[in-house]
Amino acid sequence: MERNVTLDVIRGVAVLGILLLNITAFGLPKAAYLNPAWYGVITPSDIWTWAFLDAFAQVKFLSLFALLFGAGLQMLLSRGTRWIQSRLFLLMLLGLAHGLLLWEGDILLSYGLVGLLCWRTIRDAPEEYSLFNTGVLLYLTGIAVLVILGILPGGEPTNFWIPDLAHQQYELFWRTQGGFEAIENRADLLTSAWVALAIQYGWQLAGMMMIGAALMRNGWLKGEFSLPHYRRIGWGLVFLGLLINIPAIIAQWQLDWAWRWCALLLQAPRELSAPFQVIGYVALILGFWPQLSRFRAIKWVGCVGRMALTNYLLQTIICTILFYHFGLFMKLDRLSLLILVPVIWSINILFSVLWLRYFRQGPVEWLWRQLTRRVSGEHQTINVRE
């Protein structure tokens, strides 16, 4: 099957973009991911860095991953049931190992599990319009659950939202010391993530996958529409997403990041804005592809996208070494962490470009394919140079 270079670039944008958010989760306590005032006070640089990322990146690149994951499921339907189920099951195992042994912020387990639950719906949908509408309904259900959770009475989780010094020191200890205690804490955090997936986030994840599958099925993600169409849709959706999200950013700021509002209720506008902005980002890439494709840097991003799984795991390895073994955990503010991102991007790009000079697949992609062949009953071997 001939590769779609444009999709490789979009996938590369997703894997590079997700580091903009993950870098905070690597470098600061878990409370800092959603709460910029996690230590009780906040500096102007932290406020503006958080606001910029919230407007343009938070949730967006995770949603882009889900959109592309659903598109990939649509493309894999011709491989049959055993191939798809084996592939997703192995992805879940990889995600479980990644989450327990390296970093609890893993997304692979969730994507594999939700993919297993919804791929048959994608296969059996009679037309792309019904598939798209089902995806929208599921996504809105997830947002509705989020709002309901925000309305329900409950206590303030102070140590989750604003950890005291003892909790900060303990998190510093288990993250930097590693061992069984770190695995135990990562298991607890993964369990909380699975509960959230079952109750709320799984609806949105399944919805984005189905929307991605529908857009692949009707040719939109393949670039089969006109360039003016993509440009018009792109600018309009990005503007609409910002229009929804920016008032919520301002409201969180004015409310001093109060837990019930900022961890729950005001997450809803951000979640609602994400699909508009994500599809808008993709449309702008497709609409300006003749111009973008001339740049060498775009080809480099495409190399990252061809090795998206490898590069996602490589980011974890780099960041865990930097923050947990070189003593940078809790030492940098948000802006300083953001400055590190282009350095890690450069490693992703250099590794991908050099690897693909000699091989057609990334090392983890090759291993995943090999194991899928064996588990699904296809015993033919394939060389990594294929």
The DSSP secondary structure of 63-126, one letter per residue, reads HHHHHHHHHHHHHHGGG-HHHHHHHHHHHHHHHHHHHHHT-TT--HHHHHHHHHHHHHHHHH-S
Q: In Å, what is the CA distance from 133 to each residue of 28, 128, 215, 233?
A: 38, 9, 11, 18
Buried b (16+ CB within 10 A) or exposed e, 264-300: bbbbbbbbbbbbbbbbbbbbbbbbebeebeeeeebeb
What is the pLDDT, as a whole number, of residue 258?
84
Residue-wise pLDDT tens digits, 183-211: 999 999 999 999 999 999 999 999 999 99
Residue-wise pLDDT tens digits, 270-324: 999 999 999 999 999 999 999 999 999 999 999 999 999 999 999 999 999 999 9
What is the pLDDT, as a whole number, of residue 373?
94
Question: What is the rounded average pLDDT of the residues 167-181?
Answer: 93
**Distance from the first to the final alpha carbon of the chain:** 12
Question: What is the rounded average pLDDT of the residues 58-78?
Answer: 95
**Any idea how long the chain is?**
386
- pLDDT bracket for residue 174 (50, 70, 90): very high
CA 324, chain centre distance (Å):
22
95 with 109: CB under 8 angstroms? yes
Tokens of 126: 């009679």
- pLDDT bracket for residue 58 (50, 70, 90): very high
What is the pLDDT, as a whole number, of residue 278?
97
Residues 6+ apart with CB under 8 A from 359: 366, 384, 385
Cα separation, 37 vs 50, whole angstroms: 10
Question: What is the rounded average pLDDT of the residues 154-172?
Answer: 82
Numbers of helices and strands, H then E, in the chain? 19, 0
What is the pLDDT, as a whole number, of residue 87?
96
Residue-wise pLDDT tens digits, 2-55: 578 999 999 999 999 999 999 999 999 998 988 888 887 788 899 999 999 999
Average pLDDT, the chain: 92
Cα separation, 282 vs 243, whole angstroms: 18
311 with 304: CB under 8 angstroms? yes
Which DSSP letter does residue 225 get? S
Residue-wise pLDDT tens digits, 132-146: 999 999 999 999 999
Tokens of 105: 């912020």
| 365: nearest Cα among 11, 19, 6 | 11
The residue behind tokens 């057609």 is 360
Q: In Å, what is the CA distance from 308 to each residue of 301, 303, 350, 364?
A: 10, 9, 14, 9
Return the minimum-mean-pLDDT range out of 147-151, 152-156, 266-270: 152-156
Cα separation, 29 vs 101, whole angstroms: 18
Q: In Å, what is the CA distance from 221 to each residue of 227, 280, 307?
A: 12, 12, 19
Residue-wise pLDDT tens digits, 218-234: 999 999 999 999 999 99
Residue-wise pLDDT tens digits, 87-111: 999 999 999 999 999 999 999 999 9
